[in-house]
């Protein structure tokens, strides 16, 4: 029941709601979200009025130039509002041109058809239920958060594969869903001699950086940073399991779902001297007996040329020797 106070005006009585003098519940645009670093403008998800979508949100700086093959650099502030109406570019993919079940029958399983690829790919996507136009952040409950790591053998795939998760989870289970990109193949797991055995898996470090970003910012989208789980499929499942061991003392998330794949899969201790990296370097004009010069040259080589060497490699013409760049098992 509303509470009123009586106000006498020119001998007449008026009944004024006491609440009129109190701060009103905020009228908001739930598609315009202010994070700790910048503002993003999302959209309602396709064919849905119940789910908000925010795509291509940067969680790290572009890993190009001297940042290539290195751990991710946290994203700094951005003055302009970020257009988050669709996916950002996917990370550069390995593709030897061979026909597979994914290219012929399950198009969109690894990536949405026509999805752009770029080295500037360290972004994430968020699906969130719509909120009331009279939303009170101080009193409304925050929702659980599910963070997705995609599969693809650590060579391909990306977060732009929405039919496996995303809007349906957000709508049907009333949760916030986050999907992240991370560097793949030689860009994510270079194993270069110049790294001296340190930070050999920047692709896995990308995942940690994205989770840190989510923890710091997901409340702005209605998510509870203290109620997050990490889940993934295939290589994503391997990554989830690896993460649970790598950050045993500070996991940030409260649970793990490895839908397939375990920590013992998808890794290698072979090629201890970085000979695969040196082979690719030699093919792009970065031949040097000095490991640091070789590394610096590769950091500035054309990314399209680098991946093309990998794509076109023929083991039968090279003594049967494999050319691969999986995550490294640390020894």
The whole-angstrom separation of Cα 15 and Cα 10 is: 14
**Secondary structure E strands in 46-161:** 51-58, 82-83, 123-129, 143-149
For 307, the 3-state DSSP assignment is helix
The two structure tokens encoding residue 210? 């994205």
Is the Cβ–Cβ distance between 57 and 82 less than 8 Å? yes
Q: DSSP readout, 120-138?
A: ---EEEEEEE---SB--TT
Q: Which among 80, 87, 247, 76 is positioned nearest to 159, based on CA atoms?
A: 87
Active site residue 324: no
Q: Which among 168, 170, 147, 172 is positioned nearest to 225, based on CA atoms?
A: 147
Q: Which among 233, 166, 236 is positioned nearest to 204, based on CA atoms?
A: 236
Q: Which among 186, 190, 328 is positioned nearest to 266, based on CA atoms?
A: 328
The one catalytic residue in 112, 156, 234, 324 is 234
| Catalytic positions, written as ranges | 234
């Amino acid at each position: 029941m509303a509470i009123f106070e009586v106000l006498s005006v020119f001998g007449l009585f008026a009944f004024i709601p006491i609440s009129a003098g109190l701060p009103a519940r905020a009228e908001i645009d739930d598609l315009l979200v202010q994070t700790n670093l910048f503002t993003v403008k999302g959209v309602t998800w396709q064919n849905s009025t119940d789910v908000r979508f925010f795509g291509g949100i940067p969680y790290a700086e572009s890993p190009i130039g001297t940042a290539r093959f290195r751990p991710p650099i946290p994203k700094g502030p951005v003055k302009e509002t970020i257009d988050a109406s669709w996916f950002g570019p996917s990370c550069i993919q390995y593709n030897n041109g061979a026909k597979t079940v994914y290219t012929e029958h399950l198009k969109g399983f690894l990536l949405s058809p026509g999805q752009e690829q770029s080295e500037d790919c360290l972004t994430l996507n968020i699906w969130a239920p719509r909120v009331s136009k009279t939303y009170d952040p101080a009193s409304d409950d925050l929702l659980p958060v599910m963070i997705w790591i995609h599969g693809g053998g650590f060579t391909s795939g990306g977060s732009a594969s929405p039919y496996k998760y995303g809007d349906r989870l957000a709508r049907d289970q009333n949760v916030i869903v986050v999907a992240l990109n991370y560097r793949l193949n030689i860009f994510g797991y270079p194993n270069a001699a110049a790294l001296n055995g340190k930070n050999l898996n920047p692709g896995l470090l990308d995942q940690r950086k994205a989770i840190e970003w989510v923890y710091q910012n997901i409340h702005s989208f209605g998510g509870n940073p203290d109620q997050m789980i990490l889940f993934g499929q295939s290589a994503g499942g391997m990554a989830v399991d690896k993460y649970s061991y790598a950050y045993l003392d500070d996991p940030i998330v409260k649970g793990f779902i490895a839908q397939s794949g375990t920590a013992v899969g998808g890794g290698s201790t072979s090629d201890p001297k970085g000979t695969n990296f040196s082979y690719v370097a030699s093919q792009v004009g970065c031949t040097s007996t000095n490991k640091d010069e070789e590394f610096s040259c590769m950091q500035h080589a054309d990314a399209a040329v680098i991946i093309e060497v990998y794509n076109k490699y023929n083991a039968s013409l090279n003594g049967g020797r494999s050319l691969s760049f999986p995550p490294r098992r640390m020894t």
